[in-house]
Amino acid sequence: MSDGNRSKRDQTIAAIFGAIALLGLLFVAYALGDISGKQEGRGIEAAAYHEAYAKQQAADACSVASSASMFECVYDAVEAAQESQRSEQDLDAQQGMHFWAVCMVLVGILQTLVAGAALYFLKADLAQNRLSAERQLRAYVSVEPSGVNEEEEGLHRFPYNIVNQGQTPAYDLAVFGDIVVIGGDPRQFNPAEDGRLGEAEASTDITLGPGHSQWNFAYQEAELFEPFMEAIRDKEAAIVHYGFVQYRDAFGRTQRTCFAFYHWGDDLTDADSKRCRFGNYAT
């Protein structure tokens, strides 16, 4: 996934989380208002009920009382009614506090979820920004062919130039390669299918600075090519030099540049050295 697509995806998911959080807050606010209104209505109804209840209880309890004890009877009846009202109000207050506590817990959970989602996307963005910065600053190694040199002490020499085109050094530089002769169209040579070079590891102390280059040479016995030289000159066969350069970038990541060149023609010069269609890529 490209940086642009990843950014669009993150923005979409963030918008969805934001909408869910907003809907959740609106729902909680609506529920709080609705229940608060209902509690206030019940309080008004309860006050009216207890007032009527107190009057009725005083009338019923004191209807047969003497005039001397009438005041005390009414006082006791009203006090009993008020005590009942206070008990109910205490119960309503406890229920209200319980409701508010539950609402606060729900709001806290919602805030935690939103904060967690925001932290996740922030961490993803930071990681993506770090990766983008690494890609801009890391080493990028390229390999350029330079033909085939004349026979020297029974060997053919294959020079190639390794260049660091990045912004930081390439550390622990190591080269692995192989040379073969093939017939037919050398452009179709695929190291992954036709090559003999497997996975390899090596540890070196070679460092290639940014903007620097290093000439390397591969050698092969001349007798390997002698039976095929006429076909190579006629471009009916070709010498293929393939392999990879492995190195460690400034951020500690192991990188690899693969190469595959073919050489044919009369003089096997730079102009006769081309890249195969497959096997030329870099990590």
- pLDDT profile of the chain (283 residues), mean per 10: 58 67 69 66 62 59 56 59 63 68 76 79 82 90 90 85 95 93 93 83 83 93 89 93 94 94 89 91 92
| CB contact at 8 A, 138 and 249 | yes
Residues 202 and 250 in one domain: yes
Residues 112 and 226 in one domain: no
Residues 169 and 108 in one domain: no
Using the structure block, give the residue that is written with the tokens 């490209």.
2
Domain range enclosing 211 = 141-282
Phi-psi region of 9 (alpha: psi -120 to 50; beta: other; left: phi over 0): alpha
Cα–Cα–Cα angle for 188, 243, 173, rounded to 5 degrees = 150
pTM, rounded to two decimals: 0.61
Residue 123 half-sphere exposure toward CB, CA atoms < 13 A? 6
Instruction: Give the pLDDT of residue 258.
Output: 95
Instruction: Give the pLDDT of residue 77.
Output: 57
Measure the CA–CA gap between 213 and 211, rounded to whole angstroms.
7
Of 81, 113, 137, the one marking the end of a domain is: 137
Instruction: Give the pLDDT of residue 266.
Output: 87
Q: Which amino acid is at 107?
A: V
Instruction: Give the pLDDT of residue 46.
Output: 60
Strand partners, 200: none
Residues 114 and 158 in one domain: no
Residues 110 and 186 in one domain: no
Measure the CA–CA gap between 152 and 219, rounded to whole angstroms.
10
Residues 24 and 125 in one domain: yes
Instruction: Give the pLDDT of residue 254.
Output: 93
Give the Å distances, CA to CA, from 172 to 145, 204, 254, 259: 22, 5, 9, 18
Instruction: Give the pLDDT of residue 267.
Output: 84
Residues 187 and 132 in one domain: no
**What's the farthest any 2 CA atoms get from each other in the chain?**
143
Residues 165 and 118 in one domain: no
Q: Which two tokens stand for residue 55?
A: 């009057």
Residues 35 and 124 in one domain: yes
Strand partners, 254: 248
| CB contact at 8 A, 31 and 100 | no
Length in residues, the chain: 283
Q: Which amino acid is at 23?
A: L
Of 137, 162, 197, the one marking the end of a domain is: 137
Q: Which two tokens stand for residue 41?
A: 């209505």
Residues 205 and 114 in one domain: no
Helices (H) and strands (E) in the chain, counts: 4, 8
Residues 96 and 193 in one domain: no
Residue 169 half-sphere exposure toward CB, CA atoms < 13 A? 8
Structural domain count of the chain:
2
Q: What is the CATH number of the domain that holds 157?
A: 2.60.40
Of 137, 172, 201, the one marking the end of a domain is: 137
Residues 61 and 147 in one domain: no
Name, in order, each residue with C-beta under 8 angstroms of 125's C-beta and a sequence gap of 6 or more. Answer: 10
Q: Helix, strand, coil % (nearest 5) of the chain?
A: 55, 25, 25
Instruction: Give the pLDDT of residue 134.
Output: 87
